Amino acid sequence: MRYFITGTAGFIGFHLARRLLQDGHEVLGFDGMTPYYSLKLKEARVAGLVQFPSFRPVEAMLEDRETLHAATREFKPDVIVHLAAQAGVRYSLENPKAYLDSNLIGSWNVLEAAREANVGHLLLASTSSVYGANPDIPFRETDKADEPLTFYAASKKAMEAMAHSYAHLYKIPTTAFRFFTVYGPWGRPDMALFKFVKAMIEDQEIEIYGEGKMSRDFTYIDDLVDSIVDLASIIPSEDNRVAGIDTLSHQGPFRIVNIGGGQPAGLMDFVETIEKIMGKPAKRKMLPMQQGDVPRTFASPDLLLALTGRKPEIGLNEGVGAFVEWYLEHRSQID
Find, among 138, 163, 137, 133, the residue nearest to 148 by Cα: 133
How buried is residue 117: exposed, middle or buried, by Cβ count under 10 Å (0-12/13-18/19+)?
Answer: buried
Residue 14: inside a domain: yes
As a whole number of angstroms, the distance between CA 121 and CA 233 comes to 8
Quote the longest CA-to-CA distance of the chain: 56
Domain membership of residue 215 (yes or no) is no
Residue 152 is among the residues annotated as catalytic for this protein: yes
Distance linking the first and last C-alpha atoms of the chain = 36
The dihedral built from the CA positions of residue 118, 124, 130 and 135, taken in this order, carries a sign that is positive
Evaluate whether residue 18 is within a structural domain.
Answer: yes
At 93 the pLDDT is 74
CATH number (domain holding residue 65): 3.40.50.720
CA 11, CA 96: separation in Å to the nearest integer? 21
Q: Which residues contact 110 (CB under 8 A, 6 or more apart)?
A: 6, 62, 68, 80, 82, 122, 124
pLDDT at 298: 96
Cα distance between residue 199 and residue 212, in whole Å: 17
Contact between residue 214 and residue 296 where contact means Cβ atoms under 8 Å apart: yes
Q: What is the pLDDT of residue 334?
A: 77
Residue 293 lies in a domain: no
Whether residue 124 lies inside any domain: the answer is yes
Cis peptide, bond prior to residue 253, ω within 30 of zero:
no
Beta bridge mates, 208: 286
Q: Which residue range(s) make up the domain with 77? A: 2-179+221-261+298-312
Q: Domain count of the chain?
A: 1
* 312: enclosing H helix or E strand: none
12 within domain boundaries: yes
Q: What confidence score (pLDDT) does residue 206 get?
A: 96
Instruction: Out of 36, 99, 152, 183, pick the active-site residue.
Output: 152
Give Cα 181 distance to the centre of its chain.
8
Distance CA 221, CA 227 (A): 10
- 123 found inside a domain: yes
Overall pTM > 0.85 = yes
Question: What gap in Å lies between CA 333 and CA 77, rounded to an integer?
Answer: 33
Distance CA 207, CA 71 (A): 42
Please indicate, yes or no, if residue 291 is contained in any of the structural domains.
no
Residues of the chain with pLDDT under 50: none
